C-alpha cells in the first residue's frame, strides 16, 4: 500500500504540478480523481445549491443597499486555473442561505467546501443564466454582529488547482497516552494550506493523537492526505504537541 501511494503521488505530482499543468489537464479531460477510502469526504447532507442574481455595479452604497434587502454582495473569480482571480462576475446571494451554511459548517469548513452556484435573473426565477461549481474563497463578517458582509467565490472546474486552507480535526484524544497521563494538547495550527485538485478537496483533515505521549508532536508532513494534494507550507512546521501538566494542575498536586 505504501509503495502504491508513493508511485501514485509521483505520477500525480508530474501530471498536476508541472509548469504546463493547466494545459495538461485541459488536454486530458478524461482524467479524474476520486476521494480515497479512509480519508474524509464531503458530507452529502451539506450539499446545497447556492442561488445568486447578477449585480451590475459595485461600491459602498450599492453594497449597503444589497445588505438592507437581505442580499450579500459577492464576486465569482473566473480565471481558468482557479488560483489567481482573473475575470470576475458580480453577483449577490441570499443572506439567510449563506448565514445558515456558515452556522452549520463553521467558517473554516465553509471555506473548504465546494458548492454548485446557480445564477438566475431573479431569486424566484426558473431561468438559470449560469450554473458553476465554486469554492468560497473569503467571507467577511461584521466584527460585532457576525453578519455576513460579503463573500468571494472562485470557479472550481475539475481541472482547477485550488489553494485551500483545510481545517484540522483532532481525533484519538481519548486514548492518547500523554493526555491520559494528565498532559494537555497544545494546538499550533487549526488549518493547513494545500494546493488541491478541485475534485478531491478535503472537507477537513484528521489529526490522529492516539499514539502521542508527553513531549511528542505532529508536523505538517505527518498529515494523512490524498497523494494529489501538495503541501504549500513547510512539512516540518508543527501542528500540535502534547505538553506537560498545566501549571494549575501541578500547583494543586503540591498543596
Give per-residue pLDDT as tens, 81-126.
545 556 789 999 999 999 999 999 999 999 999 999 999 999 989 9
50 and 149 inside one domain: yes
197 and 212 inside one domain: yes
Whether residue 7 lies inside any domain: the answer is no
Cβ atoms of 224 and 207 within 8 Å: the answer is no
**Domain tally for the chain?**
2
Distance CA 75, CA 250 (A): 52
How does residue 246 score in pLDDT terms, banded at 50, 70 and 90?
low
How does residue 13 score in pLDDT terms, banded at 50, 70 and 90?
very low
Q: Which residues span the domain enclosing 224?
A: 161-253
Q: What is the CATH number of the domain that holds 70?
A: 2.40.240.10
Residue that finishes a domain, picked among 111, 140, 155: 155
Whether residue 33 lies inside any domain: the answer is no
Output phi, psi for 12, to 5 deg.
-65, -35
Whether residue 105 lies inside any domain: the answer is yes
pTM of the model: 0.79
Angstrom distances, CA of residue 251 to CA of 243, 244, 246? 16, 13, 9
80 and 111 inside one domain: yes
199 and 240 inside one domain: yes
Residue that finishes a domain, picked among 135, 155, 175: 155
Task: Give tens-digit pLDDT for 125-163.
Answer: 999 999 999 999 999 999 989 899 999 999 999 889 999
Paired residues of 242 in beta bridges: 185
140 and 177 inside one domain: no
118 and 169 inside one domain: no
103 and 134 inside one domain: yes
Cβ atoms of 74 and 152 within 8 Å: the answer is yes
Q: What is the CATH number of the domain that holds 248?
A: 2.170.120.20
239 and 204 inside one domain: yes
67 and 110 inside one domain: yes
Whether residue 202 lies inside any domain: the answer is yes
Whether residue 49 lies inside any domain: the answer is yes
169 and 247 inside one domain: yes
49 and 138 inside one domain: yes
Amino acid at each position: 500500500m505504501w509503495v502504491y501511494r508513493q508511485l501514485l503521488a509521483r505520477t500525480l505530482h508530474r501530471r498536476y504540478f508541472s509548469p504546463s499543468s493547466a494545459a495538461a489537464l485541459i488536454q486530458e479531460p478524461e482524467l479524474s480523481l476520486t476521494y480515497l477510502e479512509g480519508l474524509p469526504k464531503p458530507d452529502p447532507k451539506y450539499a446545497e445549491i447556492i442561488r445568486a442574481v447578477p449585480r451590475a455595479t459595485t461600491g459602498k452604497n450599492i453594497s449597503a443597499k444589497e445588505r438592507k434587502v437581505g442580499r450579500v454582495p459577492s464576486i465569482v473569480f473566473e480565471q481558468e486555473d482557479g488560483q489567481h482571480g482573473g475575470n470576475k462576475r458580480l453577483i449577490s446571494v441570499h443572506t439567510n442561505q449563506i448565514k445558515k451554511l456558515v452556522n452549520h459548517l463553521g467558517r473554516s469548513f465553509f471555506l473548504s467546501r465546494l458548492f454548485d452556484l446557480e445564477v438566475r435573473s431573479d431569486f424566484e426565477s426558473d431561468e438559470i443564466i449560469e450554473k458553476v461549481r465554486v469554492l468560497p474563497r473569503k467571507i467577511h463578517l461584521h466584527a460585532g454582529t457576525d453578519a455576513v458582509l460579503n463573500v468571494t467565490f472562485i470557479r472550481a472546474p475539475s481541472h482547477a488547482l485550488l489553494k485551500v486552507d483545510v481545517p484540522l480535526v483532532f481525533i484519538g484524544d481519548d486514548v492518547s497516552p500523554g493526555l491520559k497521563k494528565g498532559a494537555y494538547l497544545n494546538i499550533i495550527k487549526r488549518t493547513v494550506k494545500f494546493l488541491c485538485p478541485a475534485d478531491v478537496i478535503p472537507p477537513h483533515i484528521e489529526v490522529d493523537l492516539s499514539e502521542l505521549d508527553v513531549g511528542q508532536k505532529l508536523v505538517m508532513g505527518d498529515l494523512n492526505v490524498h497523494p494529489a494534494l501538495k503541501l504549500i507550507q513547510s512539512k516540518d512546521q508543527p501542528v500540535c504537541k502534547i505538553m506537560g501538566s498545566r501549571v494549575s494542575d501541578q500547583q494543586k498536586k503540591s498543596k
